Every structure is written in structure tokens, then in C-alpha cells.
Chain A
Amino acid sequence: NAGVTQTPKFQVLKTGQSMTLQCAQDMNHEYMSWYRQDPGMGLRLIHYSVGAGITDQGEVPNGYNVSRSTTEDFPLRLLSAAPSQTSVYFCASSPGGRGYHGYTFGSGTRLTVV
């Protein structure tokens, strides 16, 4: 199993550009999430999904869009990149159903907006 795969690993954008961060999981997990990590702030939830076709906002959703057309994929779109979006982005997934299993994380995408 590949687990949670994020692409690209590194990206530099100019202010105002748009791009999509890709996330795919092969574990048939229902729940998927996007976090951003900034120094001294831990990880903050951007958007999450509890199944195909269902998404919701997290703590810091402004400037980002998501969609979940399949169970496997959960792309994060930056609509118009700003320097404040310079961060490391992590995608994570978790099984659904009863109980609580915790999340498996991808290796991250380091984004710089200049």
C-alpha cells in the first residue's frame, strides 16, 4: 500500500497564481483532511471530507477550495495564491464507520508564494 500520496513535494508560486495540490489514498478511507503547518502553530485544519461528495470547512478555509468526487482523491485548490499561504500542507485520511482510528498523513507539500 502506498498510503497517502501528495504531489508535488515542493512548489513555488507567484502571488495571484492558482494551483492544485493533489492527495490520493489507496486505503479506502472515508475521511480525508487538509492541514497546513506553520512554525509555532502546529497543524491547522483547512477543509475536510467525510465521504465522496461531502466536504466542509475547517479552522482556516479562506483562499482554498476542495472537492471530493471519488473516495481516493481529495485535491486542494489555491484560488489566488498569497504570501500568507506559504506553508507546508499535509493531507490525511482515516477510516469511517464505528470507532475512531486516527489519521494517516502524507509526506507533505512545501509551498512558497513569492
Chain B
Amino acid sequence: AQSVTQPDIHITVSEGASLELRCNYSYGATPYLFWYVQSPGQGLQLLLKYFSGDTLVQGIKGFEAEFKRSQSSFNLRKPSVHWSDAAEYFCAVGASSGSARQLTFGSGTQLTVLP
């Protein structure tokens, strides 16, 4: 079974600073990896996804993520954080085989942005 670990429960950065959110996954085959963002009281919005090919994936809102198979990681990055990026971020891995294709989520990282 697949699993996802987000080691940082809460991260605080200043506006304009760079950001990296960590995600480690466990899955026996080639993973399908996702980052979602959740603003307070809202649903989940897909930031980016990795299926195969180029290991550096570009997403919406200026985010990118890099898939590193050797480290089982899929870290999310942004060069310069904006106050509107304050939210909770979830990494997820998808089952690629069989009929399930279900997502397994990490426990989330809460991002606070200081002015």
C-alpha cells in the first residue's frame, strides 16, 4: 500500500522569501504524485501533478515540484511567496494499477506568511 509523509506540520515564511515543502512517498511502482492546496473553509485545488517524464513539474500560481526517485521525494517549491499563498498544502500519491486509482494523502503542511 502507498503512503505519504509530510514532515513539517507548520512552516512560517516571510513574504518574498523562497519556500520548500517536503513530501516523501512510499509506493512499489512508478507513483502518480500530486500537490493540492486548501484555503480556509475551501475544497482542495490541484497545484500540479507528476505522472512521468520530466522530473521538474510546473504548476499553477508559480509553484513547481521536483520528483526524485532515489530519495522517494516530491518537494514543492516557490521562489517568492505571496501573502495569498497562506493555506494548507497536501501531497498525495495515486495508485496507478488496477481499478482503484485512489489517492493517499499526507497529513498536510500549514503555511503561514508573515508580512
Contacts and interface: CB of A to CB of B under 8 A. Distances in A.
Interface of A: 31, 33, 35, 40-45, 48, 50, 56, 58, 90, 92, 94, 99-100, 102-108
B102 to A, nearest CB: 6
Contacts, number: 59
7 contacts: A40-B9, A42-B4, A42-B6, A42-B108, A56-B100, A90-B43, A107-B42
Interface of B: 4, 6, 9, 32, 34, 36, 42-46, 49, 51, 90, 94, 96, 99-108
Contacts of B9: 40
Contacts of B46: 102-104
Contacts of A45: 102-104
Contact of B44 (A31, A94, A105): A105
A108 B38 CA distance: 11
Given A100-B51, A107-B42, 19 more contacts: A31-B101, A35-B105, A40-B9, A40-B107, A40-B108, A42-B105, A43-B44, A43-B90, A43-B105, A48-B100, A56-B100, A92-B103, A94-B101, A102-B34, A102-B49, A102-B103, A103-B46, A105-B36, A105-B45
